[in-house]
A and B are shown apart, each in its own frame.
Chain A
């Protein structure tokens, strides 16, 4: 097998972080900027070696701010750009996550989450950034966040992240954690031509930006990529549909905030993916990411004990699967929300479910340890 092969078609036994790097390359990623951080480093390490072999560029920056900014800059010149980090890096990137939202920049951000707050425990996984990726930058906005439960999904959902970023001109997060980032499992990489990803639409030539709509289209405006003579005007300050700064017209301010939100919310059916295994269930174990593996095992144990327990997994955490949670709540008696944190998604789930069923939260026995399926089961028996 050539070391320059773009897509490593075949069956592998590798880490989740390896799968993520290969998913990026299979998606056509050709620019990655990053700063070393545990437990995400292996993604960047692999891409540093792989990218130049597939005509791409890897840049190790002076900090995570430099990483996201250079990735956004690369996206504006037409690269499929990505950065990879963990919680402390996301905290540093927040201002420019808002920049990517406001300028409608396609960007993939890999977050291999770790135990926080602050410097916390680098090598222990925790679903620590579920809210900060969606709400951490100032102002109102929507992003997309996908939550993988296995190394295989770190490959599959990285590809989907690029597809969504390109289609909607928005930052897309892959919310992995230290556990699946470092877990080795079977990873199946399909043939190159089986990996279909959406490509961004590019703006047409015009005399002036005033003759084009480059921004704020709820149906996603074609992107005025740099270097093509389009004379794009890009600013994250409040701007009109042509990208021209406007800091005085309240109607423009309203559109500047609302249309990028609508762009995501109006397309939520295309974006939101859940795995609903709750047919006939009276109890739903609601989870995402690594914890879903325990939820599935717990549901299996419960079924053996004669309890009607099913699982519901959010592959998309943002935009929030509100409709799907509401439907689930109407079909079960009890919803147990499992998260490896103190309940970051729980308030959002409860808000959609509590009108129709009983809802409660169960964190792990010890924070940073994945829920023991027996522990989940004992909780179900006690309820």
Chain B
């Protein structure tokens, strides 16, 4: 019998043989995109430190990825990662977590890390709902959707995360869906290489919670929905706001060069030490 080994298996802890995701979850697609990006850039896992928070997608690196992984409290991975990056400026520090973790309870850290332009790669999986706790409404849930905590339909407007992070000052920000894994992988590669704060908002299907309440159905139907409703950013810029209602704008929102915090800190230390 021929034993075939997954080409990305070398990046995972050998004793971890199963994941915690539900059938049809988008996490597998995003996790593969991350590992393929690392593989294609020919990085070693030891070049990375992964930091995650609380929620389904926080369990992508912890315990699976075979390098230093820090699984933190709810909402705070970017704050922890800030200390990690300032102490280890030569490592790639990647935060992987969900929309509830990074944009709701941890929203302030997301905004301020983008403002500081600290060299973190943040993979934010947005499934539009709280999956792990049983399908509660999130700040990313589309207005009007009925969930277990919005039984009469959400009355609140939802966050548009990527443009918010662009406004806050990020060097790089892109949004893709799990229907676009190759584009997502390319963007993650750029995000890792970008000297500055880089966000990838990965729209990801949660068939068990979101698929049920939105009546979008199973994973395949949700991916088809991503396909139909995604609009490239160049096209979206020429569209009326009404025409974009219910659409997902995908692509690169920003890609600029600007001063980065961990390097600025290193330069300051060097300057001060030389002045001795």
Contacts and interface: CB of A to CB of B under 8 A. Distances in A.
Contacts of A61: 79, 82, 112
A63 B72 contact: no
A126 B132 CA distance: 42
Given A62-B109, A63-B108, A235-B62, A73 B83 contact: yes
B71 A73 contact: no
B46 to A, nearest CB: 5
Contacts of A235: 62-63, 70-71
Contacts of A63: 108
B14 interface: yes
B272 A4 contact: yes
B63 A69 contact: no
A2 to B, nearest CB: 6
B91 interface: yes
Residue in B14, B79, B265 with the greatest tally of chain A CB atoms within 10 Å: B79
Interface stretch (A74-82, A159-167, A182-190): A74-82
A227 B89 CA distance: 10
B90 to A, nearest CB: 8
B83 A33 contact: yes
Interface residues of A, number: 47
A227 B49 CA distance: 7
Contacts of B276: 2, 4, 53
B112 A62 contact: yes
A200 to B, nearest CB: 14
A81 B83 contact: yes
Contacts of B76: 65-66, 69, 96
A62 B91 CA distance: 24
B160 to A, nearest CB: 21
Nearest to B93: A73
Contacts of B85: 73
Interface of A: 2, 4, 31, 33, 52-53, 55-57, 59, 61-63, 65-66, 69-79, 81, 95-96, 99, 208-210, 224, 226-227, 229-237, 244-245
28 contacts: A31-B83, A53-B272, A53-B273, A55-B269, A55-B273, A57-B265, A57-B269, A59-B83, A61-B79, A69-B73, A69-B79, A69-B83, A72-B80, A73-B70, A74-B87, A75-B83, A77-B83, A77-B88, A78-B87, A79-B87, A99-B72, A224-B68, A226-B49, A231-B45, A231-B66, A233-B69, A234-B68, A245-B63
